[in-house]
Amino acid sequence: MDAVQDQDQPRRGVQDCSHLVHQMYFNAGFEYPYASSFELYAGNENFERVRYPQPGDLIAWPGHVGIILDPRGHSFYSLVSTGLEAQDYEGTYWKSRGRPHFYRYKVENTGTLTAAKAPASSVATDSARQHVTAPVIEERFPVTASASHRPPKTASERTKVVPGSPGLQAPAVAAAPFEVPQSIIITPENKKPTISQVTEGISELSNASGSVLRTSDPTKLVLPVIIFERLQVERLEFKGDHGWARLQIDSRATVAGGETDYKGRREKVRWELRRTESGWEAITPTDRIYVPNDVAVRHLAAQLAQLTARDGGAAHPETVLRQESRLASLLSALLENKLGH
């Protein structure tokens, strides 16, 4: 990646690990729309999940993403406080963050990588992507150096880019479904999180959960999906290593059991918090999925476009048309005027 290696100053907007990875792939000719580390961890249509990584593959946790250097040495490139350097994903800290997901850029039927055809455009900053229902969280957490026994540093998704990033090798192929992260670190220490920190963490979890809608028929999902307009943390409760956030959620629609209920509701929710070795975490509910309205619209629109593009060659066109109709109806309802307006 000569274009990245030759930079004397980081490009404006490329200030965190997810933007860096996006820029490196783009410069190498492997284009995909920008996605946060949470979205990449949950699953992205331009990448396929693999069990065994190769150089150039993505490695992702909720809140951090990097590029595999040497799988045999468990090394990957990551942004830390001292700049861009190799890290050991089998090191003590990274293992404490949970099992990472590995992803490989998808290839065309010809076996060649999909290359960028459009000229490079300015990369959106994190602040430009912030919105009411899913604000961006700035994570800071201790990270082991390239050797797991060395003293930890402080890492962040919002650290500056330095020259010397690795070249990107052409990935191969693999496959896996979209997934939802099970938790997110809110605070890296034993200090109890604030309402603001919990709000940001839960919003990011909900943002990442939107990937479950990238299915041909979201109404057939096992868990109910609550599509909401607003999320507000009213108070926090702590008892030992456990805690709970009392939330108020204004929903737009509920997708469950093959049906969609468009009646707006104001719901009181008790969201689980937990203290682990890595710090305080917000835990994803196991009985339902919460997705912000704008995130749902983005995923549903992309899924509808995919179905429309391939319906001519579908083996069962009637089924595809029914799926398109359900997606279009849900998308239309979510695009209507917001609650109270």
- pLDDT, position 189: 73
Shared-domain flag, residues 146 and 76: yes
Is residue 59 assigned to a domain? yes
Shared-domain flag, residues 199 and 284: yes
- pLDDT, position 92: 82
Q: Which residues of the chain have pLDDT under 70?
A: 1-15, 79-83, 108-179, 216, 310-316, 337-341
Shared-domain flag, residues 128 and 216: no
- pLDDT, position 145: 35
Q: Based on C-alpha coordinates, what's the Rg of the chain?
A: 20
CATH code, 65: 3.90.1720.10
Is residue 172 assigned to a domain? no
Shared-domain flag, residues 148 and 18: yes
Is residue 176 assigned to a domain? no
Is residue 166 assigned to a domain? no
Shared-domain flag, residues 101 and 201: no
Of 156, 172, 204, the last residue of a domain is 156
Is residue 162 assigned to a domain? no
For the CA atoms of 94, 60, 13, 45, the dihedral, rounded to the nearest 10 degrees, stands at 180
Domain range for residue 228?
183-334
Q: What is the pTM of this model?
A: 0.54
Dist. CA 116–CA 86, nearest whole Å:
27
- pLDDT, position 289: 93
Is residue 170 assigned to a domain? no
DSSP output for 270-330: EEEEEEETTEEEEEPPSS-EEEEHHHHHHHHHHHHHHHHHHGGG-SSHHHHHHHHHHHHHH
Shared-domain flag, residues 152 and 264: no
Q: Residues 6 or more apart from 97 whose CB is under 8 A from it?
A: 61, 64, 141, 185, 278
Shared-domain flag, residues 316 and 196: yes
Shared-domain flag, residues 139 and 96: yes
Is residue 165 assigned to a domain? no
Dist. CA 111–CA 123, nearest whole Å:
28
Shared-domain flag, residues 253 and 321: yes
Shared-domain flag, residues 110 and 222: no
Q: How many structural domains comprise the chain? A: 2
Shared-domain flag, residues 23 and 131: yes
Shared-domain flag, residues 321 and 190: yes
Cα angle value 207/212/215 (rounded, 5°)? 140
**pLDDT tens per residue, range 139-186:** 333 333 333 333 334 333 332 333 344 555 544 433 334 567 788 888
- pLDDT, position 312: 53
